[in-house]
Amino acid sequence: MTEPTSPARQRLDLWLWYARVVRARASAAGLVRQGHVRVDGARVTSAGYTVRVGQVVTVSLDHSVRVLRVVGFSERREDATSATETFEEITD
């Protein structure tokens, strides 16, 4: 039997939630729909947009902007330490 492999891509709203950028998946979807998320510099308004390893996700939050490089995916929402393995923080 083969081990399950991590996906090669993932929905943007799921990735934001699994990476613990937001507290709820609905919040992630709302940020995307409202135009507060960019992928590789282009504004994305579809929560179902798929992200791949190596892409840069910019998220405009209430009091900050986070710039994250996608380095992996998770199959479920895990603890904060595990979540940091899905991205590289490149915010100044």
What CATH code is carried by the domain that includes residue 46?
Answer: 3.10.290.10
Dihedral sign computed on CA atoms, order 68, 69, 72, 75: positive
Q: Which of 58, 54, 76 is nearest to 67 (CA)?
A: 58
- Residue 3 covered by a domain: no
- Residue 42 covered by a domain: yes
- Residue 48 covered by a domain: yes
- Residue 4 covered by a domain: no
Read off the pTM: 0.89
Q: Given a cut of 50, is residue 1 above it in pLDDT?
A: no
Cβ atoms of 34 and 56 within 8 Å: the answer is: no
The two three-digit tokens of residue 39, written as one number: 């992928």
Query: How many domains, the chain?
Result: 1
What's the rounded Cα separation, in Å, for the pair 62 and 8? 30
- Residue 2 covered by a domain: no
- Residue 54 covered by a domain: yes
Residues 17-40 pLDDT 10s: 999 999 999 999 999 999 999 999
Domain around 55: 9-89
- Residue 1 covered by a domain: no
The two three-digit tokens of residue 89, written as one number: 């923080």
